[in-house]
Amino acid sequence: MRGSVRAPPSKSYTHRAVLAAGYADGATVRNPLDSADTRATARAVEAFGGTVERGDDAFVVEGFDGRPDTPEDVLDCANSGTTMRLTTATAALGSGLTVLTGDGSLRSRPQGPLLDALADLGARAESTRDDGRAPLVVGGHIDGGEVAIPGDVSSQYVTALLMAGAVTETGVGVELTTELKSAPYVDITLEVLRDFGVEAEATDDGYRVPGGQTYAPAGGEYAVPGDFSSMSYLLAAGALAADGELTVLGARPSAQGDSAIVDVLSRMGAPLDWDREAGEIAVSRADLAGVEVDVGDTPDLLPTIAALGAAADGTTRITNCEHVRYKETDRVSAMADELGELGAVVEEEHDTLVVRGGESTLRGGTVSGHDDHRIVMSLALCGLVADGDVTVEGADHVDVSFPGFFGTLRDLGADVTEQA
């Protein structure tokens, strides 16, 4: 594989920017990721009374100006956990009731702590099955207040409360009752809020956002940066199979925690050169060595690191990963099971995934993508180095975050055949 490729725009930033434009009177979101997940957030903005016109390089949003309508129908968040969590708090601002649901995977994901926090703020916030999972019924027009919430399940709860809290009367203070996992994602939220003219800050025990604020980006526009989560697969592909150099464009520094993939690959022995000013990372193939990585703040990197570990010499130990079990699927078990199908020696513990690459010989085979875009793309990496063809079932799920992923691999020189 060789050549240059531009990373997709950030899914995390696109979600927040589209919803922030919805909270505003309106805004243009430049360079957004147009994917299944971000379209779910756009539909939510429309359900709350806004409009989203999707173009080739921009989403033009007319917002609901901090006062969401009650949707005329059930709000279907499809497979997007970010959409559900962020817009659950939006629904609590309305005077009527919003019903939120999604596909089978999304209906299995925990929402209880966020529902409890919204109820503490005076909203009606319930799970129809009384198990803390969707379908959800939310409404009641919260005015703000103080809440306590665990930080070790999902940082998206904090993001949801901060984004909605800015347009309440008195603002929202969030006390964290446990250590915050995935903290860089809240840093992304604070960055987007600042760019939309909204003040919010970290406190000694959590976060606070004053109320009565207005969302309004400078010049009425916001530009989405490149996505380091998606970049991780391209950089990993270069480290595994580059003939010469593979260069990834659109890699300017931001608050994204998943930029840690650059450090992980460097520690594994991959030659990388990151020109931060130009936003370009060049990577070359190398014999990789196993490392230990704490993914407490970077859960989306676990599948990528596990795949790299299966192709590396020595042992790769991925720690602090319990919260990675509550994504689109249990990504810890999914990677353990599917890497094992391809000949990797893997040990799964409650909070740790150990991949013994030095004892593994990757072979071809058919594996399940578990209806999870990150599992699909990570297992595809194994096909670059396995002895034999690797077939990944459910490949269409890459549309969630990286539409055209397999075409990109093909353009860079990988042998990819897509099957109906």
- Regarding whether 98 and 247 lie in a shared domain, the answer is no
**Is 215 part of a structural domain of the chain?**
no
In a domain, 216, yes or no: no
Question: In this structure, what are the phi and psi dihedrals at residue 356, rounded to the nearest 5 degrees?
Answer: -95, 80
Active site residue 300: yes
Q: Write the CA distances from 157 to 165, 180, 189, 199, 353, integer angstroms.
A: 12, 11, 11, 18, 26
Q: Are 386 and 252 found together in one domain?
A: yes
Q: Which of 71, 133, 68, 124 is nearest to 101 (CA)?
A: 133
Beta-sheet strand order (sheet of 75-76):
75-76, 97-101, 136-139, 124-127
Query: Which token pair is 365?
Result: 């085979």
Convert the pLDDT of each residue in 194-246 to its tens digit.
Answer: 999 999 999 999 999 999 999 999 999 999 999 999 999 999 999 999 999 99
The CA-atom distances, in angstroms, between 149 and each of 157, 161, 274, 322, 343 are 8, 10, 38, 18, 41
* Structural domain harbouring 125: 9-207
CATH code of 247's domain: 3.65.10.10
Same structural domain for residues 281 and 322? yes
Q: Is the dihedral of CA 113, 117, 120, 125 positive or negative?
A: negative
**Any domain includes 4:** no
Contact 128, 100 (CB under 8 A): no
Q: Are residues 256 and 350 in the same domain?
A: yes
Instruction: For residue 284, report the phi and psi dihedrals to the nearest 5 degrees.
Output: -125, 160
Q: Which one from 300, 389, 396, 415 is the annotated catalytic residue?
A: 300
* In a shared domain, residues 26 and 148: yes
Read off the pLDDT of residues 348-370 as tens digits, 9 standing for 90 and up: 999 999 999 999 999 999 999 99
Phi, psi for residue 270 in degrees, rounded to 5: -80, 130
Mean pLDDT of the chain: 97
Q: What pTM was estimated for this model as a whole?
A: 0.88
Q: How far apart are CA 155 and CA 139, in angstroms?
A: 22
Residues 111 and 179 occupy one common structural domain: yes
CA distance 178 to 216: 33
**Which residues fall in the annotated binding site?**
11-12, 16, 81, 109, 154-156, 182, 300, 327, 331, 374
**How many folded domains does the chain comprise?**
2
Assess whether 42 and 98 both reside in one domain. Answer: yes
Q: What is the pLDDT of residues 242-259, one digit of tens each?
A: 999 999 999 999 999 999
Strands 292-294 and 315-319: parallel
- Summarised one tens digit per residue, pLDDT across range 270-297 is 999 999 999 999 999 999 999 999 999 9
- Crossing angle for the helix pair 81-91 and 36-47, to the nearest 10 degrees: 10
* pLDDT reported for residue 260: 97
Judgement on whether residues 75 and 193 belong to the same structural domain of the protein: yes
Average pLDDT rounded to a whole number, residues 139-162:
96
How far is residue 183's CA from residue 321's CA, in Å, rounded to a whole number?
A: 14
179 and 298 share a domain?
no
Residue 219 in any domain: the answer is: no
Amino acid at 309: G
Is 217 inside a domain boundary?
no
Check residue 327 and give its pLDDT. 92
Angle at 80 between CA 318 and CA 186, to 5 degrees: 60
Please name every residue paired with 146 in a beta bridge, in sequence order, or none if there are none: 173
Helices 81-91 and 156-165: crossing angle in degrees, nearest 10, is 30
Task: Kindly tell me if the per-residue pLDDT of 419 is higher than 90.
Answer: no
Residues above pLDDT 90, as percent of the chain:
99
C-alpha span between 222 and 28 (Å, rounded): 6
Residues 6+ apart with CB under 8 A from 92: 118, 121, 123, 125, 138, 139, 140, 141, 142, 164
Alpha helices in 204-252 (DSSP H): 228-241
CB within 8 Å of 56: residues ≥ 6 apart: none
Q: pLDDT band at residue 35, thresholds of 50, 70 and 90? A: very high
Q: Binding site membership for phosphoenolpyruvate: which residues?
A: 11, 81, 109, 156, 331, 374
d(CA 22, CA 86): 12
d(CA 303, CA 379): 8
At 401-411, the pLDDT tens digits run 999 999 999 99
pLDDT higher than threshold 90 for residue 371: yes
Nearest to 207 by CA among 159, 264, 255: 159
- Check residue 137 and give its pLDDT: 98
- The pLDDT tens digits of the residues spanning 306-350 come to 999 999 999 999 999 999 999 999 999 999 999 999 999 999 999
Q: Are residues 182 and 252 in the same domain?
A: no
Asked if 259 and 404 sit in the same domain, the reply is yes
d(Cα 227, Cα 15) in Å, to the nearest integer? 12
Residue located via tokens 């099971």? 337
Q: What is the pLDDT of residue 323?
A: 94
Considering the domain architecture, whether residues 162 and 102 belong to the same structural domain is answered as yes
The reported pLDDT for the residue numbered 56 is 87
Which residues contact residue 278 at a Cβ distance below 8 angstroms, ignoring those fewer than 6 apart?
none
Residue 419 lies in a domain: no
Question: Does the residue 365 lie in any domain?
Answer: yes
Catalogue the E-assigned strands of 102-225.
124-127, 136-139, 145-149, 172-176, 201-202, 206-209, 221-223
Q: Is 357 contained in some domain?
A: yes
Check whether 420 has a pLDDT greater than 90. no
What letter represents residue 210's amino acid?
A: P
Where among 154, 174, 207 does a domain terminate? 207
